[in-house]
Amino acid sequence: MNAESNGGGRSVPVGATDGAGDDPVEGTDRVLKEPAPGISKAPQFIQARRTLHLSWQVGVFVVGLAIVGLGIVMLPLPGPGWVVIFLGMAVWATEFVWAQVVLHWTKRKVTEAAQRALDPKVRKRNITLTVIGCAIAGALLAAYIARYGMEMPWKTDH
């Protein structure tokens, strides 16, 4: 039997099946190509069948959409909204290049922001502003207590 190779994929005899059914591997005279690194995380038998692989991608998209939607709902509510959104993006990145690009861009921006925050000049400025803000808040609290005492202003004795 003849065998073909696609340079980086595995060799499959011409007209062979993949063992999971009667469907030929990518047609009768083609070679089953290995997925490009970082593109599809679907199992090989799923990738070998176009319809099954498309169904897999639709499922991954729907699951990712549900997770991202949950994260968006969590933004104004208590909960880790951004973490959940990025988790949904990571689910999408298992199948879609655009999601990988967004995640890489986000990771780079977060790393840059962390480096800027750890810069000694920026840290000194942030600490100074935090101390000033706490001093102002403490002074306002002291003024409030001096004026009204420990009783809340909306509680009235009638």
pLDDT at 158: 54
- Please tell me which residue, 158 or 153, carries the higher pLDDT value: 153
Task: Label residues 98-134 b or e (16+ Cβ within 10 Å = b).
Answer: ebbeeeeeeeeeeeeeeeeeeeeeeeeeeeeeeeeee
144 found inside a domain:
no
39-48, 105-114, 143-152: which has the minimum mean pLDDT? Answer: 39-48
For the chain, how many structural domains are there in total?
1
Q: Which amino acid is at 49?
A: R
DSSP H or E run through 50: helix 50-74
Mean pLDDT of 18-35: 45
pTM for the full model? 0.48
69 found inside a domain:
yes
Instruction: Kindly report the backbone phi and psi dihedral angles of residue 107, in degrees, each rounded to the nearest multiple of 5, phi listed first.
Output: -60, -40
136 found inside a domain:
no
12 found inside a domain:
no
Instruction: Kindly report the backbone phi and psi dihedral angles of residue 17, in degrees, each rounded to the nearest multiple of 5, phi listed first.
Output: -105, 165
Burial (CB count within 10 angstroms: exposed 0-12, middle 13-18, buried 19+), residue 88: buried
Q: What digits encode the pLDDT tens for the residues 117-152?
A: 788 888 889 899 999 999 999 999 999 888 887 776
Cα(112)–Cα(129) distance, integer angstroms: 21
Domain range holding 78? 35-96
78 found inside a domain:
yes
Does the pLDDT of residue 43 top 80, yes or no? Answer: no
18 found inside a domain:
no
79 found inside a domain:
yes
Considering only CA atoms, which of 19, 10, 45, 16 is closest in space to residue 29?
16
